[in-house]
Structure 1
Amino acid sequence: MKELFLENLNQIIYTAVVILVLLIIQSIMKKAAHRIGKQSEIHVTRIRLMFKYINILVTIIAIFLLALTWGYGAEDLALIFSSVFAIIGVAMFAIWSILSNITAGIILFFSFPYKIGSRIKIHDKDLPIEAVIEDIRAFHLHLRTLDGELITYPNNLILQKAVSLVAKETSADEGKDAL
């Protein structure tokens, strides 16, 4: 056991350093997302969603760096990642709307001017909607019309349509800290 430890001492040290650095980077990114969320008065569930995206990003980077540390060559990793991404790409082509909604959800997190509780009007010539935003999720918005009807509106469409703020209503959950 001692021989195995001594043979791999450099890799063990590099692994510890990589994990420590990535945990620090993850912490900094989460604090930045939390600070942006508080400054922009973004709802706590949207901040937590960004935390999930940060965790996924850091995990992918960790897998790549640890594979390099433990002796996989760049060519081997390029082959593995290109194969995985090719399979994911073919699968995502079939479900591209999900990917576009996730991307739109990230964009909405940073630049959507309306919050939960805002009363908005979506200017669509076929189906104009006036409703209150009840929830903002990774794929869609939950909108409650004045008649009490719940509408699930895709994130990618909210970026494509003109939206105006009618009035701001206060939400009981707004302003809670996310950690």
Structure 2
Amino acid sequence: MVDIYQTLAIIAILLFLKVILHKIIKRVAQLSDIDKMRTKLIIKYINGTLIMLGTIAISFTWGADFKELGLFLSSAFAIIGVALFAQWSILSNITAGVVLFFSFPFKIGDRIRIQDKDFPTEALIEDIKAFHIHLRTDDGELITYPNNLLLQKGVSLISKRNEDDEKSH
């Protein structure tokens, strides 16, 4: 019976954390004028993390042995690690997407210059996705630029989007 109460307490705590984190993320998105689709994506990442934490916590509550759970998790991570070894950039782009959500000073509609000696780029930000950013050059060329490179390269703001044009649409 104690296990049921502990499980209910864990679920209640996770639901409380979910509500609080969702409010914080939505508030940050509102204050920073971040696109709703990006906000939903970050909320999806938070939900997945909370589900994993909840599963682990409930497993311990119901008597899962740490050694057995450790063996299972290490085996699972070894398989996932081998499977994703060639795709490490996917994980780094997802992580960069989360970092950019909270700290990227540029918005959709801004004109930026990426300081890359091999591939200098000046373009308009059309969209910011989980893995990459869409940039439109003056020639009309669409460039898909990985999020993790935005964290590695210098980015200069050329011009902000025209907020008056945005409001009239």
| TM-score when normalising by structure 1 | 0.86
1:29 to 2:21 alignment: yes
Contiguous gaps of at least 5 residues in structure 2:
none
Match of 1:77 among 55, 64, 69: 69
- Residues of 1 paired with 2:65 and 2:154: CA distance? 49
Equivalent residue, structure 1, for 2:81: 89
Describe the superposition over 1:120-147 as per-residue Cα deviations: whole angstroms up to 9, x where unpaired: 1112222221111111111100111112
RCO greater where, 1 or 2, for CA within 8 Å and sep 6 or more? 1
1:159 to 2:151 alignment: yes
Describe the superposition over 1:60-104 as per-residue Cα deviations: whole angstroms up to 9, x where unpaired: 001101111222111221111111112112222221111111111
CA RMSD of aligned residues (A): 1.8
- Residues of 2 paired with 1:98 and 1:139: CA distance? 7
- Residues of 2 paired with 1:57 and 1:17: CA distance? 18
Equivalent residue, structure 2, for 1:99: 91
Equivalent residue, structure 2, for 1:168: 160
- Residues of 1 paired with 2:51 and 2:162: CA distance? 37
Instruction: Give how far 1:11 is off.
Output: 2.1
Moved segments of 4+, more than 3 Å:
none
Instruction: Give how far 1:169 is off.
Output: 1.7
Match of 1:62 among 50, 54, 63: 54
Task: Letter of the 1:44 partner, please give it.
Answer: K
Equivalent residue, structure 2, for 1:148: 140
- Residues of 1 paired with 2:119 and 2:74: CA distance? 42
1:130 to 2:98 alignment: no
In structure 2, the residue corresponding to 1:95 is in which secondary structure? Answer: helix
Match of 1:50 among 42, 48, 62: 42
Contiguous gaps of at least 5 residues in structure 1:
1-8
Choose 1 or 2 for highest CA Rg. Answer: 1
- Residues of 2 paired with 1:145 and 1:115: CA distance? 16
The share of aligned pairs that are identical, in percent, is 54
1:13 to 2:5 alignment: yes
| TM-score when normalising by structure 2 | 0.91
Contact map agreement 1:140 1:154 (CA 8 A) in 2? yes
